[in-house]
Structure 1
Amino acid sequence: MSRWEELTGGTSGEDYAARFEALADSGKDMHGEARLCTSLVPAGARVLDAGCGTGRVMIRLAELGYDCVGVDRDASMLAVARRQAPQLPWIQADLATYDPAELGVAAEFDLVVAAGNIFPLLATGTEPAVISRLSAALCPGGLMVAGFGLDEAHLPVPPGITLSQYDAYCAAAGLAFVDRFATWDAHPYEGGGYAVSVHRAHRG
């Protein structure tokens, strides 16, 4: 069981969507993740939204002309995503065992995006396997961008993976460090409790 399932019981889709809808209604900008993605790869690129949840990031990217696939293991989150954008491909799968080919999806993504504290909320010990699976889904030279909290102030669970661990798992999976930011708005990372990391697959 993932730390996310322990936290939510796998029934949080509607509540999660309502919380973000309220934030959007208050005037808060909800598209920082998508904006950063658009700065990394051009419109038309293939994007895998790993841990897509209710689809907020992927739906925005699809609106901007990206070819997107969303994967999440939480059925309640995917139910919201499918209702909001039934024309998009939403796949229920565990990222630790995710194989695009088995699900009829071509690999070779230009970008993998993992927003929403995906890595700290995985089942403990599966982080290397997940990163390896996501790396394998990238085309040569493709990018992975992941943002997650590093301390209790930025996480709904006790801190798990550290940046040094994350970088080491990425290196072991054939991903080279490119850049790191403090926010999805690309503010420079100078330490602190949240980081957005960009890694690149070998060019083959």
Structure 2
Amino acid sequence: MSAPDENLWLANLRANPDHSQNFAQRWRNLAAEGKDIFGEARTIDAMAERGSRILDAGCGTGRIGGWLSEQGHQVVGIDLDAHLIDVAREDYPLAQWQVGNLASFTVDDGAGHLREFDLIVSAGNVVTFLSEAERLPALQKMREHLAADGRLVIGFGAGRGYAFEDFTADAVRAGLAVQQRYSTWTLREPGEDFLVAVLGRA
């Protein structure tokens, strides 16, 4: 499977106008059933000092960034889907939510400068939805918003059109360095089916 020519989320919306609503309802149903939907968020929380500045890149309905905001972190979430951002604002009002494409977003600090983050998280296979033309710019944008000693944590599965070695090469081109690799969000040793990469500025 090769890199998509267009953003897969937008392609899904074009094919099914109810895609966003169905996606949001699925996560609300899982939460109502008592399912654990915050595993990735707990890992990020364990990596963070109290009150850290955290960016949820491709935040969807806000399940990760929203949970982190409830733990006292300063959270901003970015997603290109306006409906999912509306859901995040309703469900997790403590965080800031912004509509934007990861390949071109900017988070302003209020003084005309890029806001920097101690941790940036991109979970839920978000990077595999990006088109080929969006992948490198998205990594560059995340690096631009990363504090000098900040960390970027990205998780996605194999077989989704983004080979782990291609992702690593893109990260290097974006000015990032892989610091650790794991196969799960519970930080098991590296494997072939899933990658959780912890990156920093090169």
What range describes the TM-score normalised by the shorter chain of this pair?
0.7 to 0.9
SS at match of 1:99: coil
The aligned runs of 1:3-18 (5 Å cut-off) are 3-9=8-14, 11-18=18-25
Counterpart among 115, 131, 135 of residue 139 in structure 2: 131
What is the match of residue 82 of structure 1? Answer: 89
What is the match of residue 107 of structure 1? Answer: 115
Q: Report the more deviating stretch, 103-112 or 179-188.
A: 103-112
Q: Deviations over 1:67-98 (max 9, x none)?
A: 10011111111111111123421111111111
RMSD of aligned alpha carbons: 1.9
Count of residues in Structure 1 that have an aligned counterpart in Structure 2: 194
- Asked if 1 retains the 8 angstrom alpha-carbon contact of 2:150 and 2:200, the reply is yes
Give the superposition deviation at 1:18.
1.8
- Asked if 1 retains the 8 angstrom alpha-carbon contact of 2:69 and 2:94, the reply is no
Go from structure 1 to structure 2 and tell me whether the alpha carbon gap of 1:42 and 1:61 turns closer, same or farther (over 3 Å shift).
Answer: same
Gaps of 5+ in 1: 152-158
- Asked if 2 retains the 8 angstrom alpha-carbon contact of 1:189 and 1:195, the reply is yes
Alpha-carbon distance between aligned partners in 1 of 2:106 and 2:70, rounded to the nearest angstrom: 26
Alpha-carbon distance between aligned partners in 2 of 1:92 and 1:185, rounded to the nearest angstrom: 29
Alpha-carbon distance between aligned partners in 1 of 2:49 and 2:88, rounded to the nearest angstrom: 24
Give the superposition deviation at 1:119.
0.7
What is the match of residue 39 of structure 1? Answer: 46
Q: Report the more deviating stretch, 94-103 or 137-146.
A: 94-103
Residue identity in the other structure for 2:38: H
What is the match of residue 60 of structure 1? Answer: 67
SS at match of 1:112: strand
TM-score, normalising length: structure 1: 0.87
Give the superposition deviation at 1:27.
3.3
Residue identity in the other structure for 2:166: Q
Counterpart among 144, 148, 151 of residue 140 in structure 1: 148
Residue identity in the other structure for 2:197: S
Give the superposition deviation at 1:99.
2.1
SS at match of 1:125: helix
The aligned runs of 1:20-35 (5 Å cut-off) are 20-35=27-42
What is the match of residue 190 of structure 1? Answer: 191
* 1:2 pairs with 2:39: no
SS at match of 1:131: helix
* 1:121 pairs with 2:129: yes
TM-score, normalising length: structure 2: 0.88
SS at match of 2:59: coil
Identity %: 34
Give the superposition deviation at 1:25.
3.3
Alpha-carbon distance between aligned partners in 1 of 2:97 and 2:191, rounded to the nearest angstrom: 36
Go from structure 1 to structure 2 and tell me whether the alpha carbon gap of 1:35 and 1:124 turns closer, same or farther (over 3 Å shift).
Answer: same
Alpha-carbon distance between aligned partners in 2 of 1:68 and 1:80, rounded to the nearest angstrom: 16
Residue identity in the other structure for 2:199: H
